Structure 1
């Protein structure tokens, strides 16, 4: 896990067209809450390392975050075939993140 969030964003159409499970993470590299989530997220990813992880920088004028109604960072959106199945905002518990991963693996 790194502090790097992609500045270039996929379009909402590209996200909606994804197949299989995926994690869409909104945040910024300088956000303290985002940094605090990285440890629990890495621990949960240990059991789900095959799930694609899209880390997208969010902020004013960033249309992808607005299309998902992101208000706080980090926001983790768990997708199955491009559809939102679960959402966690500022999670600090790897068990909570793991439960959300289980929803996209079993959905």
Structure 2
């Protein structure tokens, strides 16, 4: 199952703006696992994936990163962006 990871932080305004969009996208695409990673709480995960800005979406399939996108997106765009790589 593909996994879409949202790297975010509580202090990040754009991250807070994207949170409800990410939740809505998860409801629109039940065949994709949606996961949120707090960059402050999990700095090693952010370091491992080379996260330089937040929010950043990371699409992983079969344990491999297949796409990355930074910035706020509406739910429909998140789903469309994800589907183009699957």
TM bin (shorter chain): 0.7 to 0.9
TM-score, length-normalised on structure 1? 0.65
| Aligned mates of 1:94, 1:54 — CA distance in 2 | 15
* 1:17 match: none
Structure whose alpha-carbon radius of gyration is higher: 1
Runs of 5+ consecutive residues of structure 2 not aligned to the other structure: none
The secondary structure found in structure 1 opposite 2:7 is strand
| Aligned mates of 1:93, 1:63 — CA distance in 2 | 28
Higher relative contact order (CA 8 A, sep 6+): 2
* 1:35 match: 16
Runs of 5+ consecutive residues of structure 1 not aligned to the other structure: 1-19
The number of residues matched between the two structures is 86
Q: Which has the higher strand share?
A: 2
TM-score, length-normalised on structure 2? 0.78
- 2:50 aligned residue (42, 52, 69): 69
